[in-house]
Chains A and B, each alone.
Chain A
């Protein structure tokens, strides 16, 4: 008689045990799918928020007058814009990403202070750190004005304005930012270099530190150490509050995920293991008689581990259904997960079908081994 038939018939006989085991696997799989999707959603939301916060690293020339830099918000020491390309030549993994060349300079515009903010249209990515761009490029021949600046000078979208020696169309008036951006004139880097008379020059490289440093590491020290061989003539500053808030947010999400997920899986694993143990005890005589019929240890182990695999496969399918239905019902409203992440994701099913049987077999392993080593004579002697 095939082991599968025996397993199915036994499952049907010990219904309560089978249903409870199946429920535990279903909850483990469903819970994991919900948590994983919630984690993905949180991460996506966090990334979006952090992207909107902008880069948090500022690389300037070592010659920079730092008192002026912190007072005025820009460095008077310029350097060639090709310096940024040094980051594409690195061979070791570095913590810099989303690098963009900037030339910014304070000017007097129509009698009030303004900051020309020239932005390269493309970011530079070190090898292995290619990501969707964070910056909002400005088209050549156009400018984007800070709200306060536009209000003071009564400039509207599509107006033509003169900045230093150049004429530009106002592509956009920015919403209120409540920061230095209120008096900025954003333009294409080439335009900024041209109007400021600093062709081929920039005074800052902005970047984002990747979230890959160990929590115990001094991130700024690491960043400085990494920068030295790439741009020995430059120094880096980290906007600590912003960077730490970003790091903390990511770590909080990861902690929640990495704590809850194993907790659910472990609790369900213990329940499955206990149920398997009870099942082994309830089947002592059956194991004894199988031994008496000449079934060896592999046959007995196959019955118990095979049962776990069958439950794992069915539990994976049920858990996939449960998790997806929960997400569809409450994911968006309660967990604020993007609708794009919610649906019948066959990738989840694939992973569930792969991992749930292994998980169930592992949880059942000790009881299965107890069944294997059980002395059949002991059971049959005391009947």
Chain B
């Protein structure tokens, strides 16, 4: 589904991502590991159409991802990709339900949002703001937001980096359920929980 050939990202003289190849097939679950500064987050953002590589090519469904216009890239992120971040990145002034609905196009049906929140055990938290939630709950909200549009692919950047072991496992279980339903997952992680769920583990090396 997504193929990267020798993608590199440099910020001035600093190489954030050394030349890297990746083939991510549809329905695959890949865990990307690497030392701090090896470019894990940079890789994920590049795959998500948010960070143009300095060199190399990324093809998504056989078309050049960065050959698209910025509006088309926004469309790609809205429909094909779901992001999950270590810091959750929920909008602080929106309630749980609203944070999830934020990912939906204006005026679209929000039944799926409520279904996901119920599935993630957050029905009693719908009107709470992120500040009123535990870290585990916040990450579940973030996960629900990533999944609400039924994307082709989830890109998760250290999704359990701020969670206790119980919540760590829980998040990977949800990611695994999505994967088992045919979803593609690329998760950047330091931990070992991913090893249990991933089809493939890749290591990034710092330049």
A residues whose Cβ falls under 8 Å from a Cβ of B? 1-2, 5-6, 9-10, 12-14, 285-286, 288-297, 376-377, 380-381, 383
Does A383 contact B103, Cβ atoms closer than 8 Å? no
Chain A interface main SS type: helix
Does B85 contact A376, Cβ atoms closer than 8 Å? no
Does B78 contact A10, Cβ atoms closer than 8 Å? no
Does A289 contact B106, Cβ atoms closer than 8 Å? no
**B residues near A290, Cβ cutoff 8 Å:** 102
- Given A10-B93, A12-B93, decide whether A292 and B106 contact each other with a Cβ distance below 8 A: no
Q: How far is the CA of A12 from the CA of B95 in the complex (A)?
A: 13
Scan residues 52-100 of chain B and give those whose CB is less than 8 A from a CB of chain A: 70-71, 74-79, 81, 83, 85-87, 89-94, 98
- Given A296-B74, A377-B45, decide whether A9 and B93 contact each other with a Cβ distance below 8 A: yes
The answer to whether B33 has its CB under 8 Å from any CB of chain A is no
**Distance to closest chain B CB from A92 (angstroms):** 55
**A residues near B157, Cβ cutoff 8 Å:** 380
A-B contact count (CB 8 A): 74
Q: Which of A6, A9, A288 contacts B89 (CB 8 A)?
A: A288
The answer to whether B8 has its CB under 8 Å from any CB of chain A is no
Does B102 contact A1, Cβ atoms closer than 8 Å? yes
Does B75 contact A294, Cβ atoms closer than 8 Å? yes
B residues whose Cβ falls under 8 Å from a Cβ of A? 41-42, 45, 48, 50-51, 70-71, 74-79, 81, 83, 85-87, 89-94, 98, 101-104, 106, 145, 157
Does B76 contact A294, Cβ atoms closer than 8 Å? yes
Does A289 contact B89, Cβ atoms closer than 8 Å? yes
Does A377 contact B50, Cβ atoms closer than 8 Å? yes
Q: Which of B79, B85, B145 has the most CB of A within 10 A?
A: B85
Q: Quick one: closest A residue to B95, CB to CB?
A: A9
Q: How far is the CA of A293 from the CA of B104 in the complex (A)?
A: 9
Does A294 contact B79, Cβ atoms closer than 8 Å? yes
**Distance to closest chain B CB from A293 (angstroms):** 5
Does A380 contact B42, Cβ atoms closer than 8 Å? no
Q: How far is the CA of A13 from the CA of B91 in the complex (A)?
A: 11
Jot down 8 A-B pairs with beta carbons below 8 A, ordered by A.
A5-B98, A9-B94, A292-B83, A294-B75, A296-B74, A377-B45, A380-B45, A381-B42
Given A9-B98, A291-B77, A380-B89, 9 other A-B residues pairs in contact with their CB atoms under 8 A: A9-B94, A12-B93, A13-B92, A286-B91, A292-B77, A296-B70, A376-B50, A380-B85, A380-B157
**A residues near B93, Cβ cutoff 8 Å:** 9-10, 12-14
Does B50 contact A293, Cβ atoms closer than 8 Å? no
